[in-house]
Every structure is written in structure tokens, then in C-alpha cells.
Structure 1
Amino acid sequence: MTSARTRARMIERLRARGIVDEVVLAAMSAVPRHIFVEEILANRAYDDVALPINFGQTISSPFTVARMSELLRAGSGLDKVLEIGSGCGYQTAVLAQFVREVYSIERVGPLLTRTRTRLRQLRLNNVRLKHADGLLGLPESAPFDGIIFTAAATHIPATLLEQLAIRGRIVFPKGSQDQYLCVIERNLQGYTETMLDEVRFVPIVPGIWKR
């Protein structure tokens, strides 16, 4: 389940499905996905499926994580990225392999507590976690080279668009019933939007939950 061979088979499947960015593939290979899933589901950790992680959230399939990471990177290095929805921390850990600074926001307090423990276990010193409403972003740390959503939104709030650097990009699942990966790129003239693969994510929820 946790062997290098099992992880290597996951990478082979990602290649077969069209992931070509070697930096992303190396990041996926470096992160042990099994520590981010519930123990009862650990034997499925490297299957190409989304899995529940409690609090009504899911860990995205390896292909989805790789695809969104590849779209965010777009073949170039990233200094600073904002993740909306830390979740279990798997996407965060993958980003941390190739981004200089990762800022990640999670609205569910108990979930974030677990995520902090997992990321500390991996000794990822370039990750900053915050318990807050992701839809507000982190204006105090902007601008960001990239912004990535791990939950579906019907649109990007103006406050977040303003936190994107020129030549930066946002990757997010767009829609409610029908959802598609969407890439928003910012240039000197404004923003362009490209719709891509059909996906399925839990919807983004505003506010914070402390419990």
C-alpha cells in the first residue's frame, strides 16, 4: 500500500492519462497520499478516486490534483500560491514541492487542526495555514502568482481577482450542477477565462466553522 512501487504505479497511470509536467509528477511521487486519508480507506489511497475525509469534504483523485497543479504551473516556476480550502492537506503538500511559499485557507477548524499535524509530519516549512473564510483571500499576503480552489464556485469574487498578480492564474472548479475546470489568467488588459475538463467537487461555503 505504501511502497515506492505502489506510488510508481500511480505515476504511470497519471502519465497514461496525459499528465506531462515532470515537476508535477515528481511532486506527486514525493508526497505519501496514504497519510492524508482515513485509516479505514488507506488501502485505496493510491487508487485514482476521490475519497471522503470527514466534515463533508473529500480528497480529490490523484489525477485531479495533478491536472490542477499542472494547469497552475503552466510550465513555469511559482513563488507564491494561495490555496482556497486546505482540506486534508494533500493538494497543499503537493504544491509545497514546487512552490516557494504556499498560503492555504481552511474554514473548518477541526479539519485544519488535523491538517497541521499531517503537514508538520512532512516537515513542510514553506506552508502557511490559516483558519478563515477562503472567499476573502489573504490581501495582506497578496499578490499571488497562482490561486487554486479545492471546492467548486460559480464565480470568483472581485476581492480574490484583485489578489492575483499580473500574469498569474486561478485554477478552480466552476459551476454548481455541471462543473468544469476553469483557468482565469490576468494580464495588463484584464482577465481571460478558459473552460476545460468536466469535474465534480463539493461546493465552496462562505464563513468559518470553529465547532
Structure 2
Amino acid sequence: MKAVFQEPDIYRRARERMVETQIAARGITDERVLAAMRKVPRHLFVDEALRDQAYADHPLPIGEGQTISQPYIVALMTEALELKGDEKVLEVGTGSGYQTAILAELARWVYSIERYPRLLERARRILEALGYTNVILRLGDGTKGWPEVAPFEAIIVTAAGPKIPEPLLEQLAEGGRLVMPVGDEWSQYLVKVVKKGGKFYRQTLEPVRFVKLVGEYGFKE
């Protein structure tokens, strides 16, 4: 499914250090998540001028006022989805495409929505070049979800909203997990929701700082 590509050893070693010192050291234990983080070439998802910072312990700008999330946060949100390999996942906010690639390593299908055309096309080029064939991308308002292909066993939102959009809860499968930062522009918490018996059980994970989720069921432009 995935293309084989050659890369300088410096990046492979940087990924190993990233996983050991930033991710495993902070309590991420899901071996599939750790393996995906070791495998996906994060440096290809950032601008060439920033590649020397690609594996550093902080987010990086990707244009349009958006960012590629800190590696630990990517791992934390991914682990919280509890992916086993046969899921259909919805990602709201394709961004750089890095989180999309991590999900594609761990799930059967990834449906990802982005509101900025330039970011979507750049992510598409990178994901195609890396050989991901289980990713479907769409331009649009991610707060509305993707009702035509719902329900989803897992939903991840990579921007912070004032509350979880109702359409996303409606599109979560029974037993499904949703992970999203919730709060205002300055104070946010990562929230996990599990659907059991038609009811939603909410767990607060930790404080975070994300860009704003803009859309009909998020912040207004």
C-alpha cells in the first residue's frame, strides 16, 4: 500500500529520538502508534526551510495561519482513538497531511476534510507521493462532517471549537471514539468522547493550544 522511498539517515535518526524522548517518555504506550510515528517522514510535510525543525518538540507553521501539531500531541490524540486497523476514520482539518498519514498507517480508511484549497492540494501531493491509497480528501466545512459515508468508528478534529459540533456526534458509530480540543481561543482542553448504548461519555485529557475550528458548527470567520 505504501511506497518505498529513500531518505537520509539523519531524518530516520531524528524520528527515533522524537519517539523515544518526546512520545514514549511521556507515556504513549500503543505500539502501533509508536511504530507509525517512527515510520512517517514528518519532514516531508513541512516547508523545506523548516525541515531541520521537523522533529522538534513544538508545532510549526504550514501557511494560511495553520500549523502542524507538536509530535507528542499527534501521538496523544491518535492513541486516544484506540485504532485497531479496521476502522473508518474522519479527520476534520487535513492541514499538512501529517496526522492524515499517521491515521492511514493505523486504520482501514481515512476521510479528511480541509477548508483551505492550497493546504489540501499540498497534502494530497505528499500523501500520493508516499503511496497512501486509503485516504480520501475533500474541500469543505469539516464541522458538518461527511454524512454520505458516516458512521465513523473514530473522529479526530485538529482545531479547537467552542463545543463539539453536533453533526460529528451524530456521525459517530456505536462504540466509536471522538477526540477534539474544546475551548476558546486561549484556553482549551483535549476531550475524548465515547459512544456507548447511544449515549456519549466525555473525558478530559489535558490542556492544549490549537488554531480555531471555523465553520457552521464552530467559530465564525
**Structures share a fold, TM > 0.5?**
yes
How far apart are 1:77 and its partner, in Å? 3.9
Question: Are the equivalent residues in 2 in contact too, given 1:50–1:61 (CA < 8 A)?
Answer: yes
Question: Are the equivalent residues in 1 in contact too, given 2:174–2:198 (CA < 8 A)?
Answer: no
Which whole-Å CA distance do the structure 1 matches of 2:118 and 2:14 have between them? Answer: 30
* Unaligned runs of at least 5 residues, structure 2: 1-7, 217-221
Between the two proteins, what is the percent identity of the paired residues? 51
Aligned residues: 206
TM-score (normalised: structure 1) = 0.94
TM-score (normalised: structure 2) = 0.90
The aligned residue for residue 98 of structure 1 is 106
Question: Are the equivalent residues in 2 in contact too, given 1:78–1:145 (CA < 8 A)?
Answer: no
How far apart are 1:73 and its partner, in Å? 1.5
Q: Secondary structure at the match of 1:53?
A: strand
Q: Deviations over 1:111-163 (max 9, x none)?
A: 11111111011110000000011011100000000000010011122221110
Which whole-Å CA distance do the structure 1 matches of 2:198 and 2:148 have between them? Answer: 24
Which whole-Å CA distance do the structure 2 matches of 1:27 and 1:131 have between them? Answer: 26
The aligned residue for residue 16 of structure 2 is 8
Which whole-Å CA distance do the structure 1 matches of 2:198 and 2:215 have between them? Answer: 30
Paired residues for 1:55-66 under 5 Å: 55-66=64-75
The aligned residue for residue 183 of structure 1 is 192
1:18 aligns with 2:15: no
Structure 1 residue aligned with 2:143, among 135, 140, 154?
135
Which whole-Å CA distance do the structure 2 matches of 1:64 and 1:35 have between them? Answer: 18
Which whole-Å CA distance do the structure 2 matches of 1:11 and 1:98 have between them? Answer: 17
The aligned residue for residue 155 of structure 2 is 147
Which whole-Å CA distance do the structure 2 matches of 1:162 and 1:154 have between them? Answer: 17
* Unaligned runs of at least 5 residues, structure 1: none
The aligned residue for residue 49 of structure 1 is 58
Structure 2 residue aligned with 1:161, among 139, 154, 169?
169
Counterpart of 1:191 in structure 2: which amino acid? F
How far apart are 1:78 and its partner, in Å? 4.4
Question: Are the equivalent residues in 2 in contact too, given 1:78–1:146 (CA < 8 A)?
Answer: no
The aligned residue for residue 88 of structure 2 is 80
